[in-house]
Every structure is written in structure tokens, then in C-alpha cells.
Amino acid sequence: MIQSRNKYLQFMLVLLAAWAIAWGAMFVMGQAVLLYGLGKNTLFFSHGAVLVYLLCVFLVYRRWVAPLPVVGQLSNVGALWLVGAMAVVYVGEFLLGKVLDLPAEPFMTKLFADKSIPDVILTLLAVFILAPLNEEILFRGVMLNVFRSRYNWTMWLGALITSLLFAAVHMQYQNLLTLAEMFLVGLITSAARIRSGGLLLPVLLHMEATVLGLLLG
């Protein structure tokens, strides 16, 4: 009875922590946008502020809430298959978009428009480094941790739910095909977290997704 109660309390702690951290990240990003404004480097400053916040929270979370390994296991986890799966998703979405004659995402076409070289560098840092770190800590880290249990299937259920949330927060995209792509990116990075146990492989796969997205538009 005591053991069951302790497990329930631990689950509630992890759940409430995930909720609080997610809302905190949105608040910090909102405040950063208010302070900086909607300028050419909004992405860099907003994601930079969120990363500072998440790194501070990360230390407290690992110490007092739940384990969250950084590296995990990188061998014998099917890393090459996951890299290939990510490439298939992006190439497939690109080809399907051409067949359906879908317009390019306005967010992508405007990402580097009318920007100086320093602005382009800051934008690249934001989308290639800051965003993957932020989103993987939040979605494949604290959110997916809510579904940890002695049963393996709960983590895969969590992968589905957090991937839906991951797609939903990418409101800058307008095409349903792009949102479906974001869902699949969430599933692949979730699989990487589950199989490796750490955040490094999901972050690297997210960076791969960013490169593919920039190359294929």
C-alpha cells in the first residue's frame, strides 16, 4: 500500500513538473518576444532565453524530480535506422508536396529574407542549435518522462501523445502535410529517447531534421 502511494505521488510530481516547466517555457518565450519585439532576430533571442531557463530547470529536475540522462546509450539502439527514417520522412514529404503542388511554407520562405550575414548566422544558431535543445529537453525529456513506468508500452503511448503536442505547437506551419511531418519527427525522436535512454540522440536527430528541412524547404 505504501509503495503504491509513493509511486502515485512520484507520478503526480513528474506530471506537475512537466506542466509547470512547459508553461514556464512559454512564459519566458513570451516575455523575450515582448522585450525584444518582432525583429529579425526574435527566434534567436526567444529560444536563447528559453534555453537558459530550461538549463536551470534541468539541473533542479534531475536532482529532485526524476532521472533524465543526457547521453544515454548510443550503441545497439538502431541509430542508423533512425537517421534513415528521418531522411525518408523529409524526402517523402518533399516529393509528395511536389506531386500535390503544395505552396512553400511562408515561414520557411521568410526565414532568411532581407537579413544581413550576422542576422542569418543568429537565425541558423536558433534553428539548428537552440530550438533542437529546447524542444528535446521539453518534449522528449520532461514530457515523455511522465509516461515512464515498469511497463514498456506506456513510453510508446507517451511518444504518440507528445508527438501530437509537438506538431500542435508548430503553429507557424500552414500545410497539413508539414504538421504530419512534425508528428513523425516527434515519433522518431521519441523512439530515439526510448531506445537510448538519453537526450543526445534525439537532439542530433532533430538537428538532422533541421538540415533536411532547410535543404528541401
Q: Give the 3-state DSSP-derived string for the chain, with helices as H, strands as E and coil as C.
A: CHHHHHHHHHHHHHHHHHHHHHHHHHHHHHHHHHHHCCCCCHHHHHHHHHHHHHHHHHHHHHHHCCCCCCCCCCCCCCHHHHHHHHHHHHHHHHHHHHHCCCCCCHHHHHCCCCCCHHHHHHHHHHHHHHHHHHHHHHHHHHHHHCCCCCCHHHHHHHHHHHHHHHHHHCCCCCCHHHHHHHHHHHHHHHHHHHHHCCCHHHHHHHHHHHHHHHHHC
pTM of the model: 0.93
For residue 6, name the pLDDT band (cuts at 50, 70, 90). Answer: confident
Number of domains in the chain: 1
The whole-number pLDDT of residue 40 equals 86
| pLDDT of 97 strictly over 60 | yes
pLDDT confidence bin for 65, thresholds 50/70/90: very high
Alpha carbons 72 and 216: distance in angstroms, whole number: 31
Which region among 79-83, 128-132, 150-154 has the lowest average model confidence (pLDDT)? 150-154
Q: Using N-to-C axis directions, what is the helix angle for 152-169 and 176-196, rounded to 10°? A: 150
Lowest mean pLDDT among 6-10, 11-15, 116-120, 178-182: 6-10
Q: What is the pLDDT of residue 37?
A: 77
1, pLDDT greater than 60: no
Matching residue, cell 514529404: 93
Q: At what angle do helices 2-36 and 42-64 cross, to 10 degrees?
A: 160
Mean pLDDT, residues 150-179: 95
**In this structure, what C-alpha cell is assigned to residue 39?**
525583429
Structural domain span for residue 127: 2-216
Whether 113 has a pLDDT exceeding 90, the answer reads: no
Model confidence at 91, pLDDT cuts 50, 70, 90, reads very high
- Cα R_g (the chain), whole angstroms: 18
What is the mean pLDDT of the segment spanning 12-37? 94
Task: Using alpha carbons, list the distances in angstroms from residue 12 to 69, 107, 139, 169, 209.
Answer: 20, 37, 17, 24, 33
Give pLDDT, residue 114.
85
Question: Would the pLDDT of 120 be above 60?
Answer: yes
Q: pLDDT value at position 131?
A: 98
Are 174 and 180 a contacting pair, CB within 8 Å? Answer: no
What pLDDT does residue 39 have? 82
Q: Is the pLDDT reported for residue 155 higher than 80? A: yes
CA-CA distances (angstroms) from residue 156 to 12, 26, 183, 195?
Answer: 19, 25, 14, 11
Mean pLDDT in the chain? 94
